[in-house]
């Protein structure tokens, strides 16, 4: 048995997890997000990952990721796409409403100036011509922006479809490879990858502000199998 600083132990835990090529067994009373994400990544890459923890929040997090992995990113992509679609619909409406309003105002101005003020036709028609020009310019700008949005939405849809397929494949791998058990009896940490591993009193939660000294001892596969059987079937 050795006694090591917490930073050394946590770094060795990362290395053991990263060096896994077929299986990982991790038992710990607590995790931080980096370690939890690392384990999730290993499971998504086809590595059989067994996790046992006494923390119900992390147990729920791992189980939820089997169904929800990547959904936050998917929802963000969908929000961006819907935002551009709403802008597109608004501009398409403005493309119709703007010239109609400006033309109506121009015609009203023509009759007002020509009939009420008794000015010549050439002077009276000037506001109408100006408003028609403004209307045409506005329609051109709307059309240009709508075309840009069409292109953006098409790219976003393609990216969304691709990401949906990718996350679906990853979720299938996680569901197949990740096993998580909740056991309130876990007060220690064990990390093992099929070839090497260790047991320690330090949880897999990196708190660099509070350096600690904890025991560290290498562990054999037979011992790991026994502990896993004991904790995954507490009855």
The closest of 75, 37, 10, 33 to 174, measured between CA atoms, is 37
At 114, the pLDDT band (50, 70, 90 cuts) reads low
Read off φ and ψ for residue 180, nearest 5 degrees.
-130, 130
216-231 confidence digits (pLDDT tens): 899 999 999 989 888 8
Q: Please provide the distance, in angstroms rounded to a whole number, between the alpha carbons at the two ends of the chain.
A: 30
The closest of 23, 46, 62, 21 to 172, measured between CA atoms, is 46
The closest of 31, 27, 71, 32 to 49, measured between CA atoms, is 27
Q: What is the pTM of this model?
A: 0.74
142-162 confidence digits (pLDDT tens): 999 999 999 999 999 999 999
199, 9 Cβ separation under 8 angstroms: no
* pLDDT value at residue 122: 67
Is the pLDDT at 195 greater than 60, yes or no?
Answer: yes
Q: Which segments of 112-205 does DSSP mark as H helices, in order?
A: 121-124, 126-177
The closest of 98, 48, 78, 51 to 163, measured between CA atoms, is 78
CATH 3.30.870.10 fits 2-54+183-232, yes or no: yes
């Amino acid at each position: 048995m050795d006694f090591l600083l917490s930073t050394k132990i946590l770094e060795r835990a990362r290395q053991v997890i990263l060096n896994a090529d077929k299986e990982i067994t991790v038992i710990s009373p607590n995790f931080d997000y980096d370690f939890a994400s690392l384990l999730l990544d290993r499971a998504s890459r086809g590595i059989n990952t067994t996790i046992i923890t006494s923390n119900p929040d992390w147990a729920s997090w791992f189980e939820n990721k089997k169904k929800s992995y990547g959904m936050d990113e998917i929802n963000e992509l969908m929000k961006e796409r819907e935002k551009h679609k709403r802008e597109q619909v608004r501009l398409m409406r403005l493309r119709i409403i703007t010239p109609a309003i400006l033309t109506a105002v121009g015609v009203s101005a023509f009759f007002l100036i020509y009939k009420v003020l008794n000015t010549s036709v050439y002077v009276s028609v000037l506001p109408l011509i100006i408003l028609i020009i403004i209307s045409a310019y506005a329609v051109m700008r709307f059309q240009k922006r709508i075309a840009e949005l069409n292109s953006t939405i098409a790219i976003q849809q393609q990216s969304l479809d691709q990401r949906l397929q990718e996350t679906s494949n990853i979720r299938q791998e996680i569901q197949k490879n990740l096993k998580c058990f909740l056991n309130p009896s876990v007060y220690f940490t064990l990390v093992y990858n099929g070839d090497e591993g260790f047991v320690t009193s330090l949880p897999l939660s990196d708190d660099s502000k509070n350096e600690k000294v904890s025991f560290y001892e290498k562990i054999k596969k037979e011992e790991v199998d026994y502990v896993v059987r004991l904790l995954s079937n507490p009855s």
